Amino acid sequence: MLRIAVQAKGRLNEQSMELLNAAGVSVNMEKRKFLMRAEGFPAEIILLRDDDIPQTVALGAADIGIVGYNEVAEKDMDVNVLQKLGFGGCRISLAVPKTANYTGLDYFNGKRVATSYPEILRKFFADNNIDAEIHTITGSVEIAPAAGLADAIFDIVSSGGTLVSNGLVEVEKVLFSEAVLIGNPDISEEKMALARQLMSRFEAVRNGIGKKYLLLNIPVSALDEAISLLPAMRSPTVIPLANSEWCSLQTVVDEKNLWNLIESLKSIGAEGILVLSLDKIVL
Ligand code: ATP
Ligand code: MG
């Protein structure tokens, strides 16, 4: 039985639970409890504050966990980062009031910087020989400069909207983060096998994101040209049709370029184009 730590509520909860569900680890969230037995996989989910996930995994109270890489870096616990999960993307940046005359990192010498990530910041300043005062705040860091509590902040940024509305500008991007799967380093071989199984399922789920399955009929005379338009994982599937002048072509395509591709295929004679949604790709 693999115990998996997941953020109880907050930004990563929903996508973590969706990913687990798509990987065949489902729990009944209506009967939400702190510890829930999963269906379909020998696992249980433990719901925690994200701050507690690195330590819980390091101590072995959970075997693996899903948490923002920023929390892993800040807590500096003995855990292995097993896999990047491709959601919860953000960065931790230094920001100063827009009225400040910022010319470079030296600006921070002797300044007070408010943050909820003191350890990451301490390391960054030490690496860059900056001598600043770090003030740890757990609440709304972005209001600290306006409140006279700090000269600058070091905080999570995703769109940058919060900074702008507080009269701040991002001046240094220090750490890029996304949700990651972490594991206890001393996990048993049996549990590691389950963790690996989950990792390959997560990868299959991620591979299917933004992809569609395309089916179409094309005159045999235009087949080579059609194939040259298609990106395929290996090569597209070509199936003969009852009418020997036509064949059916099937392949996986990126949703991004879908309409351009469909129009190009139509212009060389493709007909009966079907676009099907695609769930998982096991490579
Ligand atoms: P908890 O109650 O579990 O301690 P929290 O308030 O500390 O939650 P959330 O705001 O839910 O944390 O954010 C969880 C994680 O989501 C962050 O640690 C970070 O990895 C990621 N994240 C992505 N974008 C953002 C953003 N714009 N602001 C904050 N976190 C973000
Ligand atoms: Mg937290």
- Token pair of 51, please? 């701050």
Q: Which residues surround ligand 2, an ion (CB under 5 A)?
A: 50-51
From the CA of 116, how far away is ligand 2's center (Å)? 9
Query: What distance in Å separates the CA atoms of residue 218 and residue 194, rounded to the nearest whole number?
Result: 44
Q: Which of 5, 18, 132, 130 is nearest to 71 (CA)?
A: 5
Which residue's alpha carbon is at the smallest distance from atom 20 of ligand 1?
68
Q: For every one of its 283 residues, what pLDDT tens digit does the chain have, with 9 covering 90 and above?
A: 999 999 999 999 999 999 999 999 999 877 778 999 999 999 999 999 999 999 999 999 999 999 999 999 999 999 999 999 999 999 999 999 999 999 999 999 999 999 999 999 999 999 999 999 999 999 899 999 999 999 999 999 988 898 999 999 999 999 999 999 999 999 999 999 999 999 999 999 999 999 999 999 999 999 999 999 987 666 889 999 999 999 999 999 999 989 999 999 999 999 999 999 999 999 8
- Token pair of 105, please? 């990192």
Q: Which amino acid is at 59?
A: L
Query: What distance in Å separates the CA atoms of residue 17 and residue 8, rounded to the nearest whole number?
Result: 10
Which residue's alpha carbon is at the smallest distance from atom 23 of ligand 1?
88
Confidence at residue 202, expressed as pLDDT on a 0 to 100 scale: 98
Confidence at residue 200, expressed as pLDDT on a 0 to 100 scale: 97
